[in-house]
Amino acid sequence: MDKIPNLPNIQPDLLDLPTPDKLLPTASLDHPPRILMLYGSLRERSFSRFLTEEAARILEHFGAEVKIFDPMELPMVGSVPETHPKVVELRELCLWSEGQVWCSPERHGAVTAVMKNQIDWIPLEMGAIRPSQGRTLAVMQVCGGSQSFNVVNTLRLLGRWMRMFTIPNQSSVPMAYKEFDDGGRMRPSGYYDRVVDVMEELFKMTLLLRGRTDYLTDRYSERNERARKAIDRQIEKL
């Protein structure tokens, strides 16, 4: 195929030209949106778990199928084989999901070890499968004091690294101990309304993107790399 004028570095046969037709869903979507939720605390009265459970109720009302991973007894990454039951459970849930919610307390200005450990157990690749790529993601945090955005900013960075579609909206709940009653339910407030906003946006974006993520994450650089490797294999056979 002839080179593209003014774009001599591009391989024309590997360059996709996006069209609306290519964005039509390619998979059966007769099931509810599947949302996996991760939280970052092991305490009995865990405000990140309370916020996660509150968000889960909202998503279930919208029609999502929600699963919350319990990080208790998940070993530190690298300390046990990948066949450990909790590791297998987490990775299977990640593969099952179409969207995710990550919620962590802020500890020393960053995400907790409990939160980071869960994310670290999710590999970028499992053979030819990328467990997190193309999933939608919403991020939330709870604060013991004044409102901060350190955790949600870090979670956004991690979501991008994991090749996820992180939605623009986010939730940060300051002085979380004031925002939940004795039963762990969130009190009415502007912070609660923001959680509704975030879950509403996540649900909409998941509906919009699911069935299309294979096309949306199909990259020219990777097609080019696969083509070069195929040529190298042919040369080796000569």
Where exactly are the structural domains of the chain?
Answer: 30-237
Helix (H/G/I), strand (E/B), else coil: 197? helix
- What pLDDT, on a 0 to 100 scale, did the predictor assign at position 1? 67
The pTM of this model reads 0.91
In degrees, rounded to 5, the angle at the alpha carbon of residue 49 between the alpha carbons of residues 43 and 53 is 150
| Pairing assessment for the beta strands 34-39 and 99-105 based on DSSP bridges | parallel
Q: Which residue has the tokens 């024309």?
A: 12
- Is the pLDDT score of 216 beyond 90? no
pLDDT exceeds 90 at position 26: no
In single-letter form, the type of residue at position 122 comes to: I
Cβ(152)–Cβ(170) below 8 Å: yes
Return the CATH number of 30-237, one of 3.40.50.360, 3.40.30.10, 3.40.50.300, 3.90.1150.10.
3.40.50.360
pLDDT tens readout for residues 139-184: 999 999 999 999 999 999 999 999 999 999 999 999 999 999 999 9
* Chain centre distance of CA 179: 26
Q: How far is CA 15 from CA 3, 139, 151, 221, 233, in A?
A: 11, 33, 38, 9, 22
Asked if 210 and 98 touch (Cβ cutoff 8 Å), the reply is yes
Q: What is the pLDDT of residues 5-22, one digit of tens each?
A: 999 999 999 999 999 988
| Distance, CA of 164 to CA of 149 (rounded, Å) | 19
